[in-house]
Every structure is written in C-alpha cells, then in structure tokens.
Amino acid sequence: MSRLEDLRDRIENGEAVIGVVGLGYVGLPLALEFAKARYSVVGFDVDPKKVEAVREGVSYIEDVEQSQVASAVSEGLLTATTDFTELARCDVLNVCVPTPLTKQRDPDVSHLAGALEEIRKRLRAGQLIVLGSTTYPGTTHELLVPLLEGTGLRLGQDFAVAFAPERIDPANKAFSVREVPKVVGGETPLCTELARKTFEIVCDTVVPVSSTQCAEMVKLLENTFRAINIGLANECALMCDRLGLDVWEVMEAAATKPYGFMKFLPGPGLGGHCIPVDPTYLAWKMKSLNFPARFIELATEINGHMPEHVVSKVSEILNEDRIAVNGARILVIGVAYKANVSDIRESPAVDVIRGLAERGGEVSFHDPHVPEVEVDGKTYKRVDLSDDQLSASDVVVIVTDHAAIDWQRVVNAAPRVFDTRNATRHVAGAAEKVRWL
C-alpha cells in the first residue's frame, strides 16, 4: 500500500491528524469543524497571542463561540502552537494565511510563501497539502508544487496537493462552514479524491473540479462578480444623485422582478479581506498575460472613489447650513468594513475619515465592535454614542449599519445625518433630518 493510499484510509477511519496553518477568520472555524467531527487538530500561527488564546479555550473571533473553543481544547481534540516542527506529524495541512495587497495594489504572497517554506522543510511522504488562501490562478501549480518537489518527494505518489478556496462570510448566521458547498481541485485525480474525502468530513456538499487552477479561478470569479455588481450599484447611486432620484427606492423596486435581476446595494465603498482584493489578484494575473481586465478595472475605479463621494456629500450637507467642513464636528458611525463584525481591513471608513480630516474636519467615531482605528499615523479612540455626543456633532455620517445601533436615537439627537447604508430609511422623523447616499 502506498503512503497516499494509507492516507486515504486514515482520513476515512478518522485517524488522520489535521493541521491548520493560520488561525484567523478562516482557519479557526475550520479547525473547530474538524474537531467537532472528532479528528485530532493542530493549529499553527505566528501570533503567540492567538495560540495562547486557543490553548486557554478563548475565542478572539466574533463568529466563533467561546464554548466551542473551550470544548475542543478540553477534550484534547484541538491544540495550538507556534512551533512549526509539529507540521511533520500532521497528515493533512490546510493553509489559511492572509493574502493581502501591497501598497502598490499588487498581490502580497509573503505570508503564503513563509508558510509554504515551513511546510517544505518538514514535508514527508503521506501528506496532503491544501491551499485555502485566496490567490491568483496558477499559484498552486507554479509556486507550491515545484517548491515541494524540490525535496525529492514525488507529487501524486509521495504527497498530494489541492486547492480548496474558503467561502467564509463573517457575521452571516444563515450558512455555517458545513452548509456552504466546498470546491476542491487537486493536482492529480488522487489529490482531488483525497481533498474531497477530507472536506466531506466537515462539509455537506463537496464540488470537485478538474484542476487547482480551476478552483483558484472559481474563488476569484465569485468575488469579482460581487465587486463588479456592487460597482454597478454604486454607479447607479451616482447617476441617481445627478438625476435627483432616490437610489434605494430604485433598487427596491427593481428587485421586485422575479427573474433576471439580482439586488446589489450601493455604499461608501468596498472593504474586507475578499471583495476588494480578489478581483485585483485576477487583474494582476491577466496583466502578465497582456489581457486587460476592463470590467474589473472599471468596477475598482468606481468603488474606490465612493469614499470621496461620501466626503463631498458631507461637505454639501454642511454647506447648505453655512457650516464649513474645516472645524466641523463630524461623528462617523461604523468603521468596520461591514455590519456586525470588527474587521477593518480595506474598510472604506478609513478613507472617509482621512478625506474629512484632510478638509479640516474634527472627526470622531463610534463602533460597538472596534475600540480604535489608525488613519495616517493618527489613532482615533472610540467615543460613546451618547445623546450629548450626537447633538454636539454638526453632522453624523453612517458608514456601517451595525445592528446594535439604536438608529431612532441617532436620528432624534443628531442635527444632521448622512446615511450611506439606508439604515435609517424607516426611522420616524428621518425624512426631515437624514440625507441618503
């Protein structure tokens, strides 16, 4: 029996040791799902604070209940470490490290390269390596495979490689890890089979595809689709502003069509670890092939300029009452990139705060999930959302529509409100005080 056939048996029999490299928004929930299925799981991270938190049974991710972590740890099913020598004892390694963009908006695969180098140094026969981190098509085949084959071990005979993109949607309670279909693509048919068997442990539906490149492209298409359609919604908001129309009324009416229309909503810009990033990975790859990704470039331009539009509209609202932005007290509500999360990666709120501050605004913020945010080297501390704070502000700008906010109280106390999320549409008295995107 070959080592990979033995691995297949270990996966099927529940004996495989599952490794998860990167214990963030993607890695920790995945590790817990394997632990729930009674597999032995080892979590790896370079951040000792995360490792210590897991060891103590503490959750540092809002979507993950502390009781789940505590239970998995107390039963001995989940351990965490910064010691990468432990990689060698894992049969399956899921790589879930960040793949952000550089300041120049190019793919930053430094975290990924670092994790893969640690794996290369400990690679042994009988292991399956699965990339889950978002990246450009060809990364697995062009970067990971040659790196691991450089050890002298043979792909498809000694070790297996697959790509299985993450589909985590933070704060979405409707779909758990198990309920979201999992796409897997291997470097060989056996690699695909091993990845499929692995994820059938934690996912109700597994969708095999023909290659790692196909699986990589699937992930990028999903979020590029969203980015482009949000770009269309944002451009519609800009057009409605010029036409004197209510974009929210237009969107809601269009959404009543039972076929041929999918509702996407405008907002202050894109944020998070996927939608603003993934299309850029794809456009970057296509640029190397001398293929201009025009839809992506246009949507990126429109979405990227929405914070500037917000700043301009705030200035316009203040000017109507002969108040200059310079010196105006501006309260921003919400700096997380989306509702009900604490993640500020790529958040448009940062650009909104920057733009208002550059015009001389005295900016403060409130976010129930975020205690502080840094913009251009300046740290802004969260202020209380008191009636006094609201009434003392010249304008309140709603950037993130957290469920915990009492929007009626905001409308009652604030002298002026600019709502980029339609959070106050059905609040009593909003028509007299609120301007919408």
Which are the contacts of 173, defined by CB distance < 8 A and separation ≥ 6?
A: none
DSSP 16: P
Pick the closest to residue 167 from 210, 220, 214 (CA basis): 220
Alpha-carbon distance of 221 to 312, in angstroms, equals 32
Which are the contacts of 165, defined by CB distance < 8 A and separation ≥ 6?
A: 132, 134, 183, 215, 216, 218, 219
How long is the chain? 437
Pick the closest to residue 303 from 226, 355, 250, 222 (CA basis): 226
Task: Decide if 332 contacts 364 (C-beta within 8 A).
Answer: yes
For the chain, what is the largest distance between any 2 Cα atoms, rounded to a whole number of angstroms?
A: 81
The residues pairing with 417 across neighbouring beta strands, listed in sequence order, are 396, 434
Known catalytic residue at 214: no
DSSP 101: B
Could you give the count of Cα atoms lying within 13 Å of 433 in the half-sphere of its Cβ?
23
Could you give the count of Cα atoms lying within 13 Å of 278 in the half-sphere of its Cβ?
24
The residues pairing with 44 across neighbouring beta strands, listed in sequence order, are 21, 81
366 token code pair: 């409130």
Q: Report in angstroms the alpha-carbon separations of 114 from 21, 83, 209, 212, 346.
A: 11, 14, 27, 20, 23
Pick the closest to residue 121 from 177, 175, 83 (CA basis): 83
Pick the closest to residue 420 from 351, 357, 373 (CA basis): 351
Pick the catalytic residue: 90, 191, 240, 274? 274
Q: Report in angstroms the alpha-carbon separations of 40 from 61, 96, 217, 310.
A: 21, 18, 31, 49
Alpha-carbon distance of 224 to 165, in angstroms, equals 14
Q: Tell me the catalytic residues.
A: 274
